[in-house]
Amino acid sequence: MSRLPLVTSPSSDPHINEIFSEITEKAGTVPAAYRAFAGYPHILQANWNRTKNILGQGALPIETKEAIATRVSFVNGCHFCLHIHKANLAQLHFSTEEITDIESGHVADPQLEATLSFVAIATKTPEQLTDNHFTQLKELGYTEQDILEILTVMEMYTGYNKIIIALNLQIDD
């Protein structure tokens, strides 16, 4: 049960309804985290803008971004987020086995495996990242901009994981 009230749709605030409508159009539903953010419309707007900009722009494909979100959620122990991102990967036509491999960080694709290892370290112990980690990603075809995008996706989901865990959001909220 959430530790803060969740705003339902429709809301008495037309601005919240507009954002909820946009989220529903993209995600099919308004996840509990956004319903919690809606208690403070400026926080809802800021988080939604951040999510749609980070996921909707950049060079990394959505499949890589969802893989990062899944791995980060696993590393942070955010079962709520893990459930959502595993479902997103399934919608992107990943098999159950591939999703389990992404969750654990052990995949057949060397570029993705290095990415998942990199974000796992960056999530928990970023001070342990070395120049070699960055060099490895570059040798696997990533540009410096790609690496910054990887870190930005990792950071966004780490932040969401921590808020969701703190609020005690559950799948059925």
Q: Whole-model pTM above 0.85?
A: yes
Integer Cα distance of 170 and 153 in angstroms: 22
- Do 152 and 100 fall into the same domain? yes
Sign of CA dihedral 48, 121, 109, 142: positive
Question: In the 8-state DSSP scheme, what is residue 126?
Answer: G
- Do 102 and 122 fall into the same domain? yes
Average pLDDT over residues 111-116: 98
User: What's the pLDDT tens digit per position in 6-59?
Assistant: 998 888 899 999 999 999 999 899 999 999 999 999 999 999 999 999 999 999
Task: Report if residue 9 sits inside a domain.
Answer: no
- Do 45 and 83 fall into the same domain? no
Integer Cα distance of 43 and 57 in angstroms: 21
- Do 67 and 52 fall into the same domain? no
- Do 112 and 52 fall into the same domain? no
- Do 89 and 50 fall into the same domain? no
Q: Quick one: which of 119, 120, 118, 98 has its CA closest to 109?
A: 98
DSSP E strands in the chain: the ranges are none
Integer Cα distance of 1 and 80 in angstroms: 12
Helix (H) or strand (E) holding 163: helix 144-167
User: What's the pLDDT tens digit per position in 48-89?
Assistant: 999 999 999 999 999 999 999 999 999 999 999 999 999 999
Task: Report if residue 8 sits inside a domain.
Answer: no
Domain total in the chain: 2
Helices and strands (DSSP H and E) totals, the chain: 9, 0
Residue ranges making up the domain that contains 38: 14-56
